[in-house]
């Protein structure tokens, strides 16, 4: 992880919720120009990710308007 890129891919993501066949996981689908990748998280991982995203989002600057 020390050799990271200085640019990022733009990502579209959505959570499919708790699947009917496996109610103990949440699937997160990430789409970039390179394709789609799915990730599975347990409840504790999903809540930690949501908490981290919320905390980081509150620190972002307001969008620039024209």
Q: DSSP for the chain?
A: --S--SS----EEEE--S-SS-TTEEEEEEEETTEEEEEEEEHHHHHHHHHHHHHHHHHSPPPP--
The predicted model gives 38-56 an average pLDDT of 91
The predicted model gives 36-54 an average pLDDT of 91
- pTM to 2 decimals? 0.65
What pLDDT score does 52 carry? 94
On average, the pLDDT of the chain sits at 83
pLDDT at 18 over 60: yes
């Amino acid at each position: 992880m020390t050799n990271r890129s200085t640019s990022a891919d733009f990502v579209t993501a959505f959570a499919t919720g708790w699947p009917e066949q496996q109610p103990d996981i949440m699937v997160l689908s990430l789409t970039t120009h390179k394709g789609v990748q799915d990730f599975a998280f347990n409840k504790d991982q999903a809540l930690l990710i949501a908490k981290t995203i919320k905390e980081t989002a509150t620190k972002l600057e307001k969008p620039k308007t024209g």
